[in-house]
């Protein structure tokens, strides 16, 4: 079963916004997981739960598990694994609004990749939309050069690798089954988790309690409190990432990437309502700018195809 390569901007945007709504909620539980287990055990355990769910999607006729082109699929999986490792590490160390803002520098990197490396023409309206979104990111991050913390670069590094994976998805994996891409990504994350656990068992560090020890914590046998949240993450991620990958397959990368900004609305609002993470006036302004960027791109997508080259 091959994926549909026909471009469908409206369906791509609906799938992306729906996926971001789910991710914005379930990524908040990582801070609860980080209280008990580590980053590597989280990804290893979550992969063990997600893979049977993905196989179920395949059995339901939603895509074959075997890739058509193994090389690009592996490359994409490695890139997105690096992105997710940086991102999930940052979720345990900073508010979700800040972690998401760093990760969603990815459309800026996508723009640079598609214009510089791939020589694709990007019109002024798309550049404006990304600029508006980037201004929103700065409002959320509120960087202070006098109080620079290297931890703020963790989600930005995730954004760089995520941008590369997004471009690869559209340019080299458009004919792959969505299920195959999802299975490859989850398998790679699981392998990364296993490797991290092995390294930490051979070279254990000084135990650090709470979220601060999330990245350096090895295997924890008493993981009972974390199990329900890992299950929530596994089920939610399977559904959301399936929709996310499909969105990139049927939508143009620079267009689809901007709709990922919508997670900046769902994530921080859920964190505020449930966990009491405050959202300042400047951060609310940033979220509005990010949403505006998505609306601007959606408006331009309704323009006649003949004007697209000039947009």
Kindly report, residue by residue over 27-43, the tens digit of the pLDDT: 999 989 999 999 999 99
- Looking at residue 4, its pLDDT comes to 44
Q: Is residue 160 in a domain?
A: yes
Give yes or no for a contact between 81 and 146, defined as CB atoms under 8 angstroms apart.
no
Alpha carbon distance 73, 173 (integer Å): 7
Confidence band for 111, pLDDT divided at 50, 70 and 90: confident
Q: Is residue 3 in a domain?
A: no
Give yes or no for a contact between 11 and 178, defined as CB atoms under 8 angstroms apart.
no
Confidence band for 13, pLDDT divided at 50, 70 and 90: confident
Confidence band for 118, pLDDT divided at 50, 70 and 90: low
Task: State mean pLDDT over 60-75.
Answer: 89
- Looking at residue 308, its pLDDT comes to 40
Indicate the DSSP class of residue 2. Answer: P
Give yes or no for a contact between 91 and 31, defined as CB atoms under 8 angstroms apart.
yes
214-245 per-residue burial string, b: 16 or more CB within 10 A, e: under 16: bbbbbeeeebeebeebbebbbbbbbbbbbbbb
The CA–CA distances, whole Å, from 36 to 16, 45, 89, 165, 219 equal 31, 13, 14, 30, 10
Q: Is residue 245 in a domain?
A: yes
- Which one has a higher pLDDT value, 127 or 300? 127
Give yes or no for a contact between 134 and 142, defined as CB atoms under 8 angstroms apart.
no
Alpha carbon distance 195, 216 (integer Å): 13
- Which one has a higher pLDDT value, 192 or 259? 192
Return the structure tokens found at 311.
Answer: 């947009």
Q: Is residue 2 in a domain?
A: no
Q: Is residue 4 in a domain?
A: no
Q: Is residue 236 in a domain?
A: yes
- Looking at residue 73, its pLDDT comes to 94
Number of domains in the chain: 1
- Looking at residue 2, its pLDDT comes to 41
Alpha carbon distance 28, 43 (integer Å): 15
Note if the pTM is more than 0.85. Answer: no
Confidence band for 189, pLDDT divided at 50, 70 and 90: very high
* DSSP-H helix ranges across 60-177: 70-91, 96-103, 106-112, 124-141, 153-172
Does residue 305 have a pLDDT over 60? no
Return the structure tokens found at 34.
Answer: 């980080």
Confidence band for 102, pLDDT divided at 50, 70 and 90: confident
Confidence band for 3, pLDDT divided at 50, 70 and 90: very low
Single out the residue of 19, 15, 153, 162 nearest to residue 94, CA to CA.
Answer: 153
- Looking at residue 217, its pLDDT comes to 93
* Helices 263-270 + 124-141 axis angle, to 10: 20
Does residue 306 have a pLDDT over 50? no
Return the structure tokens found at 21.
Answer: 């709504």
Task: State mean pLDDT over 276-294.
Answer: 78
Q: Is residue 147 in a domain?
A: yes
Does residue 309 have a pLDDT over 60? no
CA R_g for the chain: 19
Task: State mean pLDDT over 238-249.
Answer: 84
Return the structure tokens found at 111.
Answer: 């723009």
- Looking at residue 289, its pLDDT comes to 82
Alpha carbon distance 293, 19 (integer Å): 18
Please state, rounded to an integer, the average pLDDT across all residues of the chain: 83
DSSP string, 180-234: HHHHHHHHHHHHHHHHHHHHHHHS------SGGGTTT----S--GGGHHHHHHHH
> Which sign does the torsion angle of CA 72, 164, 154, 290 carry?
negative
- Residue 13: give the domain boundaries: 9-310
Q: Is residue 1 in a domain?
A: no
Single out the residue of 15, 283, 24 nearest to residue 138, CA to CA.
Answer: 283
Give yes or no for a contact between 137 and 290, defined as CB atoms under 8 angstroms apart.
yes
Task: State mean pLDDT over 282-304.
Answer: 69
């Amino acid at each position: 079963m091959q994926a549909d390569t026909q471009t469908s901007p409206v369906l791509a945007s609906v799938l992306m916004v729906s996926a971001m709504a789910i991710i914005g909620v379930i990524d908040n539980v990582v801070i609860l997981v980080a209280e008990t287990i580590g980053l590597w055990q989280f990804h290893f355990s979550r992969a063990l739960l997600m893979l049977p769910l993905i196989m179920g999607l395949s059995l339901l006729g939603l895509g074959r598990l075997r890739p058509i082109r193994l090389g690009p699929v592996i490359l994409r999986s490695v890139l997105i694994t690096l992105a997710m490792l940086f991102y999930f590490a940052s979720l345990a160390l900073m508010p979700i609004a800040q972690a998401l803002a760093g990760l969603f520098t990815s459309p800026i990197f996508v723009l640079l990749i598609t214009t510089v490396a791939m020589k694709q023409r990007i019109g002024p309206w798309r550049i404006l939309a990304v600029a508006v979104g980037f201004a929103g990111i700065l409002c959320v991050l509120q960087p202070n050069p006098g109080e620079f913390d290297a931890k703020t670069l963790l989600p930005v590094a995730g954004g760089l690798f995520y941008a590369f994976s997004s471009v690869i998805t559209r340019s080299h994996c458009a004919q792959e089954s969505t299920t195959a891409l999802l299975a490859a990504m989850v398998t790679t994350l699981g392998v990364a988790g296993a490797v991290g656990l092995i390294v930490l068992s051979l070279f254990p560090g000084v135990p650090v309690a709470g979220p601060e020890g999330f990245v350096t914590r090895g295997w924890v046998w008493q993981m009972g409190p974390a199990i329900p949240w890992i299950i929530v993450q596994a089920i939610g991620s399977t559904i959301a990432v399936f929709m996310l990958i499909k969105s990139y397959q049927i939508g143009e990368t620079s267009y689809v990437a901007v709709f990922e900004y919508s997670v900046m609305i769902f994530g921080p609002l859920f964190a505020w309502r449930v966990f009491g993470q405050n959202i300042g006036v400047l951060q609310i302004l940033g979220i509005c700018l990010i949403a505006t960027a998505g609306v601007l791109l959606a408006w331009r997508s309704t323009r006649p195809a003949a004007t697209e080259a000039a947009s």
